[in-house]
Chains A and B, each alone.
Chain A
């Protein structure tokens, strides 16, 4: 079998197609970005997770250190149980605070980890004790209006901004 000009063109075509796939994977997609080589999971319980979704980022000091792997509802405590898978490379103290934050005013929600001062580190399966729920905009506004109506001094007659379900 001889090499023909046809083979050359088909070779160019296949190479271009594969190069396009690689561009999609590395330049357009996030293959080159954060990837979880080895992960350990911890859980955290929140009164209200707001609009948090599975696969949302877990950030500490703004750096992505893991992902939300699962969100479940606990019908004993009526709280949301969020399972986080964190990169093995990063260890966090036992008294780390997990807070649900929003990137920008209307951006997507993520979990921010604030490291505490404990000597002991979080291990796989541990539960993060101190959590801060998502801020629900409607509750904030109603609280603000309520305090305005009540003469300007900041009181909190409404339930805490985090305690009521969204909408």
Chain B
């Protein structure tokens, strides 16, 4: 074959391979959802996963939320001061956190903190043939290992995002009101007038739920599909963080386009 032929067949192989993987991932996801019954009847399995992906992510979420909010407070004040609208600082901090930064940044942190851990854990289980051993004992690894981790992630993510937003608003309050001296009353009252529960808060929760679904599903599949070698697990972990970060940002654009059509 000529050079061009090799080039095109390499592209074709990659395309076919990725579509194959996509189909496999979809079937894997469907199986996980179908075999979630065990997670509900033995909820302690899910609780253990909420602990490892939710509770253990709390510190990074709380600290980064605080700092993001404080930076928003400083930057927002600098800009709003130009227009004499410092009182709107609360609106700026709350809306940007509740609508965008809370769900998105919390999900990015969740992907790198919890998603990578899930992939590494399941990848290593596969490498050391623990998943095969479970199958030998007639225990379905998808029902016993994958589904509880999935539900643990889906439940944790919205809670983490809400905690992130609240910590961020608190950080903005500390910088804006306590340190800079924006009026306390108008900080809160303008915020309450501008933030709509259904339009802003509920949509933010929906976003973080979707991100939690996407991140955990990607992490689980990458772990389950990892090449069973040390290098394979490390590559799968990297892929989890990259793919889920891209998925979060792309999904965020799609969801925002649906939720806030500029009306």
Bitwise interface map of A from 139 to 164 toward B, beta carbon under 8 Å scored 1, else 0: 00000000000000000000000000
Scan residues 183-202 of chain B and give those whose CB is less than 8 A from a CB of chain A.
188, 191-193, 195-197, 200-201
Q: Does A10 contact B (CB under 8 A)?
A: yes
Q: Are A10 and B55 in contact (CB under 8 A)?
A: yes
Place the interface of chain A in its size category: 20 to 34
Q: Are A29 and B159 in contact (CB under 8 A)?
A: no
Scan residues 9-23 of chain A and give those whose CB is less than 8 A from a CB of chain B.
9-10, 12-14, 16-18, 20-21, 23
Q: Out of B44, B58, B160, B196, name the residue touching A29 (CB < 8 Å).
A: B196
Q: Are B201 and A24 in contact (CB under 8 A)?
A: yes
Nearest chain B CB to A149 CB, angstrom units? 32
Q: Does A28 contact B (CB under 8 A)?
A: yes
Q: How far is the CA of A32 from the CA of B156 in the complex (A)?
A: 27
Given contacts A10-B51, A16-B159, A18-B159, contact A28 B192 (CB under 8 A): yes
Given contacts A10-B50, A10-B51, A13-B50, contact A29 B163 (CB under 8 A): no
Q: Are A13 and B44 in contact (CB under 8 A)?
A: no
Q: Are A17 and B159 in contact (CB under 8 A)?
A: yes
Q: Does B94 contact A (CB under 8 A)?
A: yes
Q: How far is the CA of A13 from the CA of B162 in the complex (A)?
A: 12
Bitwise interface map of B from 137 to 148 toward A, beta carbon under 8 Å scored 1, else 0: 000000000000
**Which residue of A has the minimal Cβ distance to B193?**
A30
Q: Does A1 contact B (CB under 8 A)?
A: yes
Q: How far is the CA of A30 from the CA of B196 in the complex (A)?
A: 6
**Which residue of A has the minimal Cβ distance to B191?**
A28
Nearest chain B CB to A21 CB, angstrom units? 5
Q: Are B166 and A33 in contact (CB under 8 A)?
A: no
Which A residues lie within 8 Å of B162 (CB)? 17, 20-21, 24
**Which residue of B has the minimal Cβ distance to A14?**
B159
Q: Does B205 contact A (CB under 8 A)?
A: yes
Which A residues lie within 8 Å of B98 (CB)? 24, 28
Which A residues lie within 8 Å of B197 (CB)? 25, 29-31
Q: Does B47 contact A (CB under 8 A)?
A: yes
Q: Does A27 contact B (CB under 8 A)?
A: yes
Which B residues lie within 8 Å of A25 (CB)? 197, 201
Which B residues lie within 8 Å of A33 (CB)? 192-193
Q: Are B205 and A21 in contact (CB under 8 A)?
A: yes
Q: Are A28 and B195 in contact (CB under 8 A)?
A: yes
Q: Out of A6, A7, A16, A29, name the residue touching B192 (CB < 8 Å).
A: A29
Q: Does A54 contact B (CB under 8 A)?
A: yes
Q: How far is the CA of A14 from the CA of B46 in the complex (A)?
A: 13
Q: Are A13 and B55 in contact (CB under 8 A)?
A: yes
Q: Out of B47, B188, B263, name the residue touching A27 (CB < 8 Å).
A: B188
Scan residues 136-185 of chain B and give those whose CB is less than 8 A from a CB of chain A.
156, 158-160, 162-163, 165-166, 169
**Which residue of A has the minimal Cβ distance to B188?**
A27
Q: Out of A1, A9, A16, A28, name the residue touching B201 (CB < 8 Å).
A: A28
Q: Are A20 and B55 in contact (CB under 8 A)?
A: no
Q: How far is the CA of A24 from the CA of B102 in the complex (A)?
A: 11
The 10 A-B pairs with the shortest beta carbon distances in the complex, nearest first, are: A17-B159, A20-B162, A29-B197, A20-B166, A13-B55, A20-B163, A29-B195, A21-B162, A31-B197, A24-B201
| 18 pairs from A and B in contact (CB 8 Å cutoff) | A9-B55, A10-B55, A13-B156, A13-B159, A17-B162, A20-B159, A21-B159, A21-B162, A24-B166, A25-B201, A29-B196, A29-B197, A29-B201, A30-B192, A30-B195, A30-B197, A33-B192, A33-B193
B residues neighboring A (CB under 8 Å): 44, 47-48, 50-51, 54-55, 58, 94, 98, 156, 158-160, 162-163, 165-166, 169, 188, 191-193, 195-197, 200-201, 204-205, 263
A residues neighboring B (CB under 8 Å): 1, 6-7, 9-10, 12-14, 16-18, 20-21, 23-25, 27-33, 53-54
